[in-house]
Structure 1
């Protein structure tokens, strides 16, 4: 009798595993995107990562207006709409979100405020893990500089945009307020309902003779090495390591895992650079 009961339980567990339908969503950072597949992530990166899925067609690339505050209809509302459509159309039961930069903040808003929007709970229930690539969880001094209107406004236009609400939101003091009052996952706050695992970029390399400097775009890495002068010694050119590791847990610091122990600049952490795509593929 006991043996039959064990077989019945095993059968139920196996049936549940078979029915699981895994999917991945790529969530871009600051900016208003209409073709993030090509313009933000590149097809090369996305197509490599999704090879880790049981069904490689079970993916979506989010296109929203993340120049807005994270809670707005154009940001979190748009994200909720596109994720809900993806979940419903594909029958997704286990969802991994791969975010970059400010995309991690928008996702944290959804997970931290389940009563804000009736679509949030169903999304949260489906999430297996958030893999946050270089998340701006504690903001960046460069956002303060852009809002102040000094030289960084021009230097970072290609990366952040200009004086939009998302940049304003990522000022250090503003993110401290949001983390203390509205967002989960940082020190002293409730834990997020699902794992939030960050990949932290620790440095920027842009030597013209070093082929690794060209991955992710040479001109972008040159710009990030310039802005790194206003950040801590451990940074990816846009974010201090302390900001990237402020929420959830750290999956890895770049050089502890990357091919050739190469650092990941902020531009490279959304590209097929130094094995990042492979690590993500095997993780999902």
Structure 2
């Protein structure tokens, strides 16, 4: 018995002994060129709340890339791969959870769907546990078509989409249909993604000036999304129809099913600490 205990103690002290898992979370923004997504895309309160679900809240990274470019562009998928690779290496991450919003889900799906195109992709996929995709534009949006066609949306949606960038062009409905049929996995009739891609679907926009919930994330943004919702189906978050958000992977939950008071999440509110969204995402990191 003494010999056995001595051997076990040596094994525990050995540098080759199995180390504990280290879970990390990466926040992957949507459309746009970001240099400080912590402040300008997400929100410090949102990020800092979610990362409290980690054993070590320092094991997180907020991605800053140029998602005005095509998914496959080195400044988009290449930048994302480099920052994820550095994060995994520097923080010794063994379990990676990726939290994406909007077009960020498409860039992440590009990596998952094309593992042989970049030497960094396989190691990222190996460490990846799941992608929690909030309001992903998996099947595009008619608003991107409107912007690219130079309609009045070009000005009205500049704050939301940007102006006729390559990423907006890719989020046109017909373009995403082509990508989903040929180069991306996870949609109906296509191969499954190698790791879970779970979506959070925003189903409505509530902009009543008499309801304090409408002010979460900024009332001006909520009101603008209420306006753009008029050009979408009745089930939408003001930017994306529910069918687009749920086109890839599996639906984790719809907003009203999990948010406090059964509140909907507009496309802007789904990257803010609104109605307990941050708490749901925080608790999921512990699973």
TM range (shorter): over 0.9
Residue of structure 1 in register with 2:38 after alignment: 37
Q: Distance in 1 between matches of 2:284 and 2:208?
A: 31
The CA deviation at 1:158 is 0.2
Stretches (4+) displaced over 6 A:
none
Within 5 Å, which residues of 2 pair with 1:149-168? 149-168=150-169
The CA deviation at 1:217 is 1.0
Q: Deviations over 1:197-229 (max 9, x none)?
A: 000000001111110011011111111000000
Residue of structure 1 in register with 2:76 after alignment: 75
The 3-state SS of whatever aligns with 2:189 is coil
Residue of structure 1 in register with 2:252 after alignment: 251
Residue of structure 2 in register with 1:184 after alignment: 185
The 3-state SS of whatever aligns with 2:253 is strand
The more displaced of 207-216 and 105-114 is 207-216
Q: Deviations over 1:28-50 (max 9, x none)?
A: 00000000001011110000000
The 3-state SS of whatever aligns with 1:206 is coil
Within 5 Å, which residues of 2 pair with 1:1-284? 19-284=20-285
Gaps of 5+ in 2: none
Q: Distance in 2 between matches of 1:203 and 1:42?
A: 22
Q: Distance in 2 between matches of 1:234 and 1:187?
A: 20
Q: Distance in 2 between matches of 1:149 and 1:155?
A: 11
The 3-state SS of whatever aligns with 1:209 is coil
The 3-state SS of whatever aligns with 2:198 is strand
The 3-state SS of whatever aligns with 2:64 is coil
Q: Deviations over 1:63-99 (max 9, x none)?
A: 0000000000000000001000000100001000000
Q: Deviations over 1:2-51 (max 9, x none)?
A: xx9xxx9xx99xx75x5211000000000000000010111100000001
The 3-state SS of whatever aligns with 2:27 is strand
Q: Distance in 2 between matches of 1:160 and 1:27?
A: 16
Q: Distance in 2 between matches of 1:233 and 1:206?
A: 15
Q: Distance in 2 between matches of 1:164 and 1:39?
A: 19
Q: What is the root-mean-square deviation of aligned Cα atoms in Å?
A: 1.4
Q: Distance in 2 between matches of 1:133 and 1:156?
A: 20
Q: Distance in 1 between matches of 2:187 and 2:156?
A: 30
The 3-state SS of whatever aligns with 1:63 is coil
Q: Distance in 2 between matches of 1:74 and 1:104?
A: 16
Q: Distance in 1 between matches of 2:218 and 2:172?
A: 26
Q: Deviations over 1:223-281 (max 9, x none)?
A: 10000000000000000000000000000000011000000000000000000000000
